[in-house]
Amino acid sequence: MKNIDRFLRNIWLECCGHLSAFTTPQSHDKVPVSRNVDNVFCKGLKLEYKYGFGSRTELLLTVVEEYPVKTDDKIILLSRNEPLEWLCDTCKKKPVTLICIIHDWEEGSLFCKKCAEKHAKKCEDFSKYAAMPVVNSPHMGVCGYEGGVIDIERDVVFVKG
Ligand SMILES: [Zn+2]
Ligand SMILES: [Zn+2]
Ligand SMILES: [Zn+2]
């Protein structure tokens, strides 16, 4: 379970070494990271995973299938989500590159490069610290998160095709 914890941090979460925990969805029992995956996982199992406890990001893990693979790697990435197809909240035309963590979703917090420059003039926090990069992660815009360290080709801004 330690390897899975590390993998999730590497691809989606690690910002400043927050605590994390696996728990069961209904009873919220903690699943110790010292346990071996063989003794925890079975087909159909769902587990909650929390990263950080103040600015927390929660994931739901599902064991979809199991089959034997010959490898020396601890974890092999078979597939992942593509970059999110978000367009700028202001101009609705260009892909977003920056998020303002002060302005919430309803007011519009996702900006393309050009609109971000305009927003920086109106929003003092944005020009100082509240501008965060758009990345392919559920931890985007949380704490100091700036992207993962594995599969970084797909940890990018979506490009309008
Ligand atoms: Zn953090
Ligand atoms: Zn724009
Ligand atoms: Zn702002």
**16 CA to middle of ligand 1, Å?**
4
Which amino acid appears at position 57 of this protein? Answer: T
In the reported structure, the alpha carbon of residue 104 is separated from the centroid of ligand 2 by a whole-number distance in angstroms of 16
Using CA atoms, how far apart are residues 18 and 52, in angstroms rounded to an integer? 5
Give domain limits for the chain: 2-62, 98-154
pLDDT in tens, the chain (161 residues): 999 999 999 999 999 999 999 999 989 999 999 999 999 999 999 999 999 988 889 999 999 999 888 999 999 998 898 888 889 999 999 999 999 999 877 778 999 999 999 999 999 999 999 999 999 999 998 988 999 999 998 888 888 77
Pairwise CA distance, residues 131 & 136, whole Å: 16
Q: Please list, residue by residue across 73-98, b when 16 or more beta carbons sit within 10 angstroms of its beta carbon and e when fewer do.
A: eeeeeeeeeebeeeebbbeeebbbbb
Q: From ligand 3's centre to the CA of 60, what distance in Å?
A: 30
Dist. CA 145–CA 134, nearest whole Å: 10
